[in-house]
Amino acid sequence: MELYFLGTNAGVPTLQRNVTSIGLRMLDERRALWLFDCGEGTQHQILSSPLKLSKLEKVFITHLHGDHVFGLPGLLSSRAYQGGTTPLTVYGPPGTERMITTVMELSQSRINYELKIIEHTGGLLFEDESFIVESALLEHRIDSYGYRITEKDRPGSLDQVKLAEYGLKPGPLFGRLKRGETITLEDGNVVRPEDVLGAPKRGKVITILGDTRPCENVLPLAQHADVLVHEATFMDDLADTAHEYYHSTAKQAAEAARAANVGELIMTHFSSRYKDEDQLQPLLEEARTVFPNSRLANEHQLIPVIYHQEISRP
């Protein structure tokens, strides 16, 4: 899994940074792309990225402020022209479906793929054999949600020495053992998965928050995550301004990361008052005094999601 930042600015785009959108590329896990928010210009950003709209499987909208959704109708309309013909699901707060269908109807946009829109107010949104996606309400001027993506633990690797002891050779039986099935050999010996599999490979956890000021739902969403993506609109000298406008400071993002015992904090959604990378460095320094493993999101930066072994989970 890899995170790719398509926009890291708050409110309005600047010459240096676009508004919010984050890609989660999962080529090894499911050969798919998930998108979190879709601010204006997102599809242009994708054209300059290694991401492929033909792989887009799901879009998760945190809230309906324009800097998080104004790029969505255009992206949905043009997706088919970039090879996207497979079904696509959009998750978002109440009002998401009305926004999308109104724009598509008035513009007479037509798509040739199945589009499913799921509105939610938090809770369990999606689960299959590999992933769980949960959501909870944050604290912003309008309803804004955070998302917790949990990769389920995977079976351990097959022990080739133990397989040889049973006389097993590569073939369909290997797959059955990996799927957790017990097999019976021609000589009557029974081989259980735990006899030939190593320890399970722990799945990774990613938490991506929408706009928010510090609130109680941040902790359960981020608890023991390998990566926490948290807004850091201002430095802490503007904490009163951040609170008034329902945003967070870099220090507050770091405090959330420390309290939740996450592996890494990635900060994004920076105020346009910070014009360039030099002006953003104080935010990073501020965060690192509280949570050393912090970084700033840079646009068109691909960040591998690293499993943090030191994180203890229930």
Q: Residue count of the chain, please give it.
A: 314
Find out whether 67 is annotated in a ligand binding site.
Answer: yes
| Residue 280 contacts residue 270 (beta carbons within 8 Å) | yes
| Residue 49 contacts residue 43 (beta carbons within 8 Å) | no
Q: What is the pLDDT of residue 33?
A: 97
> Exposed (0-12), middle (13-18) or buried (19+): which is 46, by Cβ within 10 Å?
buried
Cα–Cα distance between 195 and 260 in angstroms, integer?
Answer: 36
Residue 288, classed as helix, strand or coil, is helix
Q: What is the pLDDT of residue 74?
A: 95
- Given a cut of 90, whether residue 154 has pLDDT beyond it is no
- Given a cut of 60, whether residue 313 has pLDDT beyond it is no
**Domains annotated on the chain, with CATH:** 2-154+201-304 (3.60.15.10), 160-196 (no CATH)
Find out whether 230 is annotated in a ligand binding site.
Answer: no
Residue-wise pLDDT tens digits, 6-49: 999 999 999 889 999 999 999 999 999 999 999 999 999 999 99
- Given a cut of 60, whether residue 179 has pLDDT beyond it is yes
Find out whether 269 is annotated in a ligand binding site.
Answer: yes
The dihedral formed by the CA atoms of 7, 10, 12 and 18, expressed in degrees to the nearest 10: -10
Residue among 37, 67, 143, 236 flagged as catalytic: 67
| Residue 210 contacts residue 68 (beta carbons within 8 Å) | yes
Cα–Cα distance between 157 and 174 in angstroms, integer?
Answer: 10
User: In terms of pLDDT, which residue wins out, 49 or 198?
Assistant: 49
Q: What is the pLDDT of residue 158?
A: 80
Q: How many CB atoms lie within 10 A of CB 7?
A: 26
Cα–Cα distance between 59 and 169 in angstroms, integer?
Answer: 42
What's the whole-number mean pLDDT along residues 80-86? Answer: 85
Residue-wise pLDDT tens digits, 200-259: 788 999 999 999 999 999 999 999 999 999 999 999 999 999 999 999 999 999 999 999
Residue-wise pLDDT tens digits, 246-269: 999 999 999 999 999 999 999 999
Cα–Cα distance between 309 and 314 in angstroms, integer?
Answer: 13
67 counts as catalytic: yes
Find out whether 300 is annotated in a ligand binding site.
Answer: no
- Count of helix runs (H) and strand runs (E) in the chain: 12, 16
- Given a cut of 90, whether residue 170 has pLDDT beyond it is no
Residue closest to 220 by CA, chosen among 164, 274, 285, 145: 145
Six-digit token pair at 53? Answer: 């709209």
102 pLDDT band, cuts 50/70/90, is very high
The DSSP letter of residue 58 is: E
